[in-house]
Amino acid sequence: MTLTRLFLAATLAMSFAGTMARAQETNSYPKSNLELFEAMTSVVIIRGTDEAGVVIGKIGGVTLRCRESRDPGTNRRESGVIVTVTQVEGLEDTTVVDYDELDGLIRGINYISNVDWSVTSLSHFEAGFTTRSGFKVASFSSRRSGTIEAFALSNRLIRSRSALTMAQLAQLRVYLEQAKAKLDVVQKAK
């Protein structure tokens, strides 16, 4: 009888621990294809990185780097942009945006850069775009200043947010376009 109780208690504890682990996993964004590729084991991975731009925000900033990773054994490649969002307090978080998401992200930034007060009949708004792995850019109406402002947010491990002006958001879009053009050249060189 005691052995049965011990077995049931151990089974219940393992079941509870497994449920808690899955609950924690579902609260975060999934890893990008590039991150999954770079996490492979028992293979050589070659990583190439190049600076793509830095936007110094009103509060904090956003740093962009191009990344291409390759398995020389199979010549399989993945690429994308590494986005690091820094807050004034020194907090920073990094999100990887896959190459196949860059066009959508650029179009999303272009749209939210052009929204105005007519986007809704309500008094306040936010227009945002979020990638699969949790990088978000948004514009919003500011009650305090009566203007439209923007922010960039990385939400991978810790939440790091940088306040941007609309001009800084436009500069972020330009750097993303340049990063995509650089990765286009790398893609064609396969």
CATH number (3.30.2450, 3.30.420, 2.40.420, 3.30.750) of 33-188 reads 3.30.2450
| pLDDT of 23 | 37
Contact by Cβ (8 Å): 90, 154 = no
Contact by Cβ (8 Å): 60, 162 = yes
Each of the 190 residues of the chain gets a pLDDT tens digit; together they read 565 555 445 554 555 444 444 334 344 789 999 999 999 999 999 999 999 999 999 889 999 999 999 999 999 999 999 999 999 778 899 999 999 999 999 999 999 999 988 888 888 899 999 999 999 999 998 777 778 999 999 988 888 999 999 999 999 999 999 999 999 998 887 6
* Cα gap 71→74, rounded to integer Å: 6
User: Domain locations in the chain?
Assistant: 1-30, 33-188
DSSP string, 95-109: EEEEGGGHHHHHHHH
Contact by Cβ (8 Å): 162, 50 = no
State the greatest distance between any 2 C-alpha atoms of the chain, in Å, as a whole number. Answer: 72
Contact by Cβ (8 Å): 28, 134 = yes
CA distances from 115 to 9, 141, 169 (A): 57, 10, 13
* Cα gap 1→79, rounded to integer Å: 58
